Structure 1
Amino acid sequence: MSVASKAATLAGDEAAAGRLKILVICYEFPPVGGGGGRVAARVAQGLARKGHEVRFLTSQVAGLPREETLDGVTIRRAAAGRRRPDRCTVPEMAAYVLLQWWPAIAEARRFRPDVIHVHFAVPSGPIAWLASRLTGTPYVVTAHLGDVPGGVPEQTDRLFKLVKPFTTLIWRRAAATTAVASHVGQLAEAAYAVRPDVILNGIDMSTDLVRAPAQDGAPLRLIWCGRIQEQKNLGAGLEALAAIRDLDWTLDIIGDGPLRGDAQERCRRLRLDHLVRFHHWMTAKEVETEMAAADVLYLPSLSEGLSLVTVEALRVGLAFVASRIPGVMDVVVEGENGLLCDPSSPAEFAAAVARLVENRLLLARFQANSAGRRLQFDEQTMVAGYERVLRMASKAGR
C-alpha cells in the first residue's frame, strides 16, 4: 500500500471514529413552528454535513410525511396532538409529552445514538430525560427563551409555577446544557443553578445576497416576520405606525399566529390597510426574497432569544428599528446598524421610523454596517459549537 493510500485509510478511520450518532428531539421542525425549530433544523443539517448520522424526532401535523430525509437528516414525525403548524397551546404541549415519549424511547433503542440533543426544555425536555433514563443515553438541553422561567413571562409564568420542580430535574440530569443567547443562559442559571454554554444562532453566510436597491422616491419598505402572538408586540408596533401614516412607508407582515386576526382588525381600525400587507407563512427562500426587497426590519417585540429573523436580516443588509431588549441587542448596535426603542413606547418607534423615512443617508449607513456584522453569526461557527458540546456529552455515556 502506498504512503498516500495509508494516509487516506488512516484519515478515513479517524473520521469514522469521530462520527457521532445523534438523536434530535424537538417539538417543531419547519414548516412547523417558528425560529427555534428553524435553528434546530439548521444545527441538525450542519452536523449531518460534517459526517455525523442524525435523526430528528418531531411532531406530526396534517399534510406532512411521516418520514423523509432532508439535507442528510432523517426526519421522523410522530403523533403529537398538534392541530396547526403556526401555534402550540399548553394543552397541545401536554399532549405532545404524553404521545411522544414512546416513539422517542423506541427510536433511541433502535438507533442507539451516542447522544440525544433536545431543543426546548419545555415541552421536549421531559421526553429526552425519560429516553435517557431508560436507555442510558446522555442528553444535551438547548434553551431558546420561552422554555426558561422569566423568558416570556407574559405567556409562561403560570406554567412554570406548575412544572418547575420537574424541569429542574431535566436541567440537572443533562450531560450538558446550552443557550442561544447570553441572557437566555443567565435566566437558566438563575432558575436552575446551571451555567449553559452560549452558542449564538447562525445562518449560512457563505453566499452574498444582493438587496434590491431602493428607487428614488420609493417609500421606506419595512418588513416584520414571525409568529403573531403577544410576545411579538405587533399591535403596539401598528399603533406606532398609525401616528405617522402620512409619511412615505409600507410594511409587509409575514407569518401567522393566534393574534393575526386582531392585527388585521387593528390595521383596519387605524386606517393602515393601504400601507400594510399581510402574508401567510412562507418558505425560507421566499422570506429571503421578501427581505432582499425591504429596507428595514421592524421588530417591536417584548422579548426575544437570539432572534433568527434579525440574523437573516443582517445577511441581506437591512437596517433595524427594534426593541431595546436582550437578544436583539446581540445583533443590533444602537446608532450603528439601527435604532433601538422602548417596547412599551409606540412614540419611540414612530419617531425612529420617521427618522429613517426622512434621512436616507443614515438608512444607507445602517444597511452597510449590518452587512459588515453578518459574519459574526455564521452557521459554521454555530454548528462547530454544538458539535463540540455533543461530542463531550457523548462520553458521559461510555
Structure 2
Amino acid sequence: MRVAFVSMKTSHYRDTKGARRLERLARQMADAGHDVTVYCARWWDGDERRFEPDDISYRAVTAEPNAAAFAARLPVRIARNGADVVHARPTPPESVPAAKLGGALARAPLLVDWFGDEALPGGRRTEWAARAPDRIVTPSEMVRTNAREQGADGDATTVIPESIDVDLIRETEPAETVDVAFAHPLDESANVESLMLGLAELRERDWSATIIGDGPYREDYERQARDLRIDDRVTFAGACDREERVSLYRGAHVFVQTAYREQFATELLWALACGCVGIVEYQARSSAHELIEQRERSFRVTSTQGMAEAIVDAGTYERRTFDEAFAEFDHDAVRGEYEDLYARLIDERGLF
C-alpha cells in the first residue's frame, strides 16, 4: 500500500507527541512493507528535495516551514507521486484542504491524525481542517470530543490509541521493588504535589516511591518532599530512557497519574501493561481516566484523602510484572487498526 504522510513540521522542527506519533507510525508502516512517503518542510542538510533513511522517503515540499507555500505545492506533489491513502496532521490547518485536493487527484482518501497538542488558530481555518478529511483519528475520547467541537463530523471520527512494545516489557528485567511510581516531565502540568500530599498522609506507614522525569519544576518538587518530611522515601530518578522506565514499572506495585493535561496517558499505559495498579486523579483536561474505566486493578480519585486511601487499598492486589490484558495496545496490533481503517476508506472511495 502506498501511504502519503503529510506533516509540514516534523519532530525535527518541533518535538511534540503528535509529531512523534505520526513519524512512529510511518516507520512501522515502512517496516511492515508499505511504500511510505512523508511530505514535509526540509529538515535535513543539503539542497536535495528527497531524503530516504530507513525505507522512508521524505520529500521536501518547501525548503522551510511556510504554511501558504506548503499548501500551494502539496496537491501537485501528492498527485505526481501517487498514493493509495493520504495520512496528515491538522497543522498548519491550510495543509488539510491541500492534502484533500492532492488525495482527490490521486484518487486516495484523506485521514487526519488529530492528536490534540496542535497549536491550531481556531475559527474558519480550523473548521476547514476538521471538516475536510474522510476520517479523523484521535488518541482518546476526550480529543475526539474536542475535534467535534472544532467542526468534525462525529460519524467521521475514530479513536485509535497510542501503542507500546509488549515484547520489550516481557524481555526487560524488573528493577528493585518499589511501592509507588510516577512519570511525567516535571513541568507546570505534572501536578506531582497531589501525589506528594497523598504520600504525606501515609507517613506512619512503610512505603517507597520513585518519581521519573525531569524538568524546570524538579527542584520545587524535591523541596516539597523535604518540607513534607518524606524525602527519605522518595527517589527522583530523572528522565530515564524507555528500557529504564519499563524496568522501574515492572518493579513497582502502583502507578499514580495526576497530570493536568494528557491527550493520551502513554506512561500510564506502559505502567499498566507492566502490571502496576493504576491510580488516576481525575483532571478535566486529561484522558487518563479512560484507560482505567472497566478495569478492576485501578482507582479513580478526586482528592488528597482519596489518593492516600487508594494507595493503601491497592495493597490488596497482588504484585505483577505484566498484564496480558494490555497486549491489545502492542505496536503491531495498533498498526493493524490503521491498516484496517485505510482499507475501509479505500473501499469506500471505490464506490464513487
Q: Same fold, TM exceeding 0.5?
A: yes
Q: Which moved more, 1:246-255 or 1:346-355?
A: 246-255
User: Equivalent residues in 2 for 1:140-219 (5 A)?
Assistant: 140-147=111-118, 163-195=122-154, 196-206=157-167, 209=170, 219=178
Distance 2:88 2:344 in 1: 15
Cα-to-partner distance string for 1:129-151 (whole Å, 9 max, x where unaligned):
4455578565321222445xxxx
Residues of 2 paired with 1:78 and 1:244: CA distance?
57
Distance 1:80 1:237 in 2: 46
> How far apart, in 2, do the equivalents of 1:68 and 1:280 lie?
34
Q: Is the 8 A contact 1:205 1:375 kept in 2?
A: yes
Answer 1 or 2: higher relative contact order, Cα 8 Å, separation at least 6. 1
Tell me how far apart the structure 2 counterparts of residues 214 and 50 of structure 1 sit (CA, whole Å).
32
Match for 1:69 among 53, 65, 68?
Answer: 53
Query: What is the TM-score normalised by the length of structure 2?
Result: 0.75
1:302 equivalent in structure 2: 260
Amino acid at match of 2:36: V
Answer whether contact 1:80 1:100 (CA < 8 A) is retained.
no
Residue 214 of structure 1 deviates from its aligned partner by 8.8
The whole-number CA distance in structure 2 between the counterparts of 1:364 and 1:79 is 55
1:386 corresponds to which residue?
338
| More helix as a share of residues | 1
2:275 to 317, 333, 336: 317
User: What letter is aligned with 2:29?
Assistant: L
Q: List aligned pairs for 1:1-398, cutoff 5 A.
A: 19-25=1-7, 27=9, 29=11, 33=15, 35-56=17-38, 69-70=53-54, 72-74=55-57, 101=70, 105=74, 108=78, 112-119=82-89, 121=90, 123-133=91-101, 136=105, 139-147=110-118, 163-195=122-154, 196-206=157-167, 209=170, 219-220=178-179, 222-257=180-215, 259-324=217-282, 327-333=287-293, 336-342=296-302, 345-356=303-314, 359=315, 362-364=316-318, 367=320, 371-393=323-345
Contact 1:34 1:226 in 2 (8 A): no
Partners of 2:139 and 2:160 within 8 A in 1: yes
For residues 306-336 of structure 1, the C-alpha deviation after alignment (integer angstroms, 9 at most, x for no partner) is 3222221232211112224673343324771
Identity %: 20
Consecutive unaligned residues in structure 2, runs of 5 or more: 45-49
Change (3 A) 1:26 1:102: closer
Distance across 2 between alignment mates of 1:67 and 1:182: 36
Q: Distance in 2 between matches of 1:376 and 1:338?
A: 18
8 Å CA contact retained: 2:174, 2:248:
no
Report the Cα distance in structure 2 between the residues aligned to 1:245 and 1:334, rounded to whole angstroms: 31
Separation in 2, partners of 1:31, 1:347 = 43
Measured after TM superposition, the shift of residue 117 of structure 1 is 1.8
Deviation at 1:107, TM superposition (A): 6.8
Report the secondary structure of 2:299's partner residue. Answer: strand
Question: What is the match of residue 47 of structure 2?
Answer: none
TM-score (norm: length of structure 1): 0.67
- Tell me if structure 1 keeps the 8 A contact 2:278–2:292: yes
Please tell me whether the aligned partners of residues 16 and 117 of structure 2 are also in contact (alpha carbons under 8 angstroms).
Answer: no
Tell me the distance in 2 between the aligned counterparts of 1:319 and 1:300.
Answer: 14
Partners of 2:201 and 2:68 lie apart in 1 by 48
Shift of residue 338, structure 1, vs aligned partner: 1.8
Distance 2:41 2:228 in 1: 38
Residues 139/267 of structure 1: CA separation in 2 closer, same or farther (3 Å cut): farther
In structure 1, runs of 5+ residues without a counterpart are 1-18, 82-95, 148-158
Amino acid at match of 1:225: A
Equivalent position of 1:150 in the other structure = none
Displacement after TM superposition at 1:219 (Å): 4.9
RMSD: 4.2
CA distance in 1 between counterparts of 2:101 and 2:213 reads: 38
CA deviations 1:335-376 (Å, max 9, x no partner) are 71122211xx222112222334xx3xx2316x48x7142133
Alpha-carbon shift at residue 299 of structure 1 (Å): 0.6
Cα deviations across residues 176-197 of structure 1 (Å, max 9, x unaligned)? 2112223322332244141202
CA distance in 2 between counterparts of 1:142 and 1:227 reads 24
The answer (yes or no) to whether the contact 2:136–2:158 under 8 Å persists in 1 is: yes
Q: Structure 1 residues 290 and 208 mapped into 2: Cα distance closer, same or farther (>3 Å)?
A: closer
Report if the CA contact (8 A) 1:30-1:37 is conserved: no
Alignment check: 8 A CA contact 2:96 2:132 kept = no
- Give aligned pairs, total: 338
The 3-state SS of whatever aligns with 1:298 is: strand
